[in-house]
Amino acid sequence: MRRLAVMLALVAIVAVAVVWFLRARGDEVSPPETRGAAATRVILIGVDGVDWERLERLVLDGRMPNLGRMMEDGASGLLRSFPPYVSPTVWTSVATGKLGEKHGIGGFTVYGQGGGTVELIGSGTIKCKTLWEILAAAERTSGVIGWLVTHPPVPVTSYTVSSRAVMGMSSEPSPARAERDGLDMSVGVHPPELWDSISGLGILPSDVPREDVLNHLGSVDYLDDTTVETRMSDIAGRLAGDRTTVALARRLMADRPTDLTAIYLRGSDIISHLFWRYYEPESWTRGKLKPEVVETLAPVIDRYYERVDSMIGDMLEQRDENTVVIVCSDHGFAGHRGHEGFESHGEGDVAFGVLMHRDRGIIVMDGPGVASGVLIEGASVLDITPTVLSVLGLPAARDMDGRPLASVFERAFLERNPISYIETYETGEKATSDGPTESPVDDEIKELLRSLGYIN
């Protein structure tokens, strides 16, 4: 008996040593459901094209109070992106923790069969597992609203409303939609029957009160100018899209709470593209701008940032004391001068499309376990998925190109929930969708992308 007792004691000592060693290495040593953060929820809000320097300035001026409070109470900093700063590529990196070479998304479009047609990139092109697929395998729930490259929806989430569905809900009906036989907007929604309960939440540009549009302008003395009229329609369109997303988020977070809710707002990037020439007229060398038009439209970008802050505040009303909120962008914005490394090819040449982007995006993070007043340094878009996994008590993967942002967490949180790793989540079959790869609004999305200089 004594010998047996000694042997058992030795086994116990060895087991403790092994656990200590594995924890020191960062390997997973306990089932995710037993770890300290298992009850925590995450709201991940992606805001396209929001630039760190502009955010800092507007927060200091008191014009973005919701993000300002998050920055004061939590952690924030510059979030590096990667060239060529193409939104579908970067947002897929945000959702996988991997570079484009691994996840396979290189842009907005691909050539169709035979190479004769250009088709919008679809979810079936993603080569590795997304955050929501990882969570599903761990028996955690997720809801996805408006995120790029989520059409057709992959049936692993509690619900998905793809970016194409949001576009259809928030834009005026067009003749092109009627030509897509057998397709309706429910093809961009999972589960399909969800469409009946959310289709009425869409806000069209014609629904946006005129006063809301006028509040973005610097002057109301030149509203009869044709350029001002056109740009006012652009503002209404972006407000309609983002407000539809907010309405969906508020309804679905209330009715279908999930461990992760991922939400994407597009308007800030499009507004920056369309209005930069008026915000920084000295950078515009392609024709003369009327001084009165510049006076009217110069404030639009900053005021749209204020609207984004207000929309974030509306969505944050759905969080509780167990919710961590992460707000991030895919890239910053350099404007017509072009990002660092852009070279003009002649007099009058200015940057368009992705050449207007730069690597200075944002991350703001707040909630239980997040340290207060932390300036995040050295973070990139690749770190979002590993950090979300850590918040939810799950290991990151060593084959991810990003790592959890350990500096954002309080010491007590890390003691309860040490950061850990597994080798990979790329095991088993990847989830796919058998839904149609097209949607009724594909032609409209392509036209928008052409107008912004993203595609030819």
pLDDT of residue 385: 98
Q: What percent of the chain has pLDDT over 70?
A: 88
The pairing of beta strand 332-333 with beta strand 323-328: unpaired
pLDDT at 110 over 80: yes
pLDDT tens for 11-37 read: 333 333 333 333 333 333 333 343 444
Distance, C-alpha 425 to centroid of its chain: 22
What's the mean pLDDT in 375-394? Answer: 97
pLDDT at 345 over 50: yes
pLDDT at 159 over 80: yes
More confident residue, 40 or 234: 234
Helices (H), 267-340: 267-279, 291-297, 300-316
pLDDT of residue 342: 82
Where on the phi/psi map is residue 139: left (φ > 0), alpha (ψ -120 to 50), or beta?
left
pLDDT at 4 over 50: no
pLDDT tens for 197-250 read: 999 999 999 999 999 999 999 999 999 999 999 999 999 999 999 999 999 999
Q: Which residues contact 18 (CB under 8 A, 6 or more apart)?
A: none
User: Could you state, in order of their start, the residue ranges of all structural domains in the chain?
Assistant: 1-30, 37-451
Distance, C-alpha 338 to centroid of its chain: 23
Q: What is the DSSP code (8-state) at residue 409?
A: B
Q: What is the DSSP code (8-state) at residue 354?
A: G
Top-level CATH class of 37-451? alpha beta
pLDDT tens for 126-147 read: 999 999 999 999 999 999 999 9
Strands, E assignment, 150-215 = 159-161, 189-190
More confident residue, 342 or 69: 69
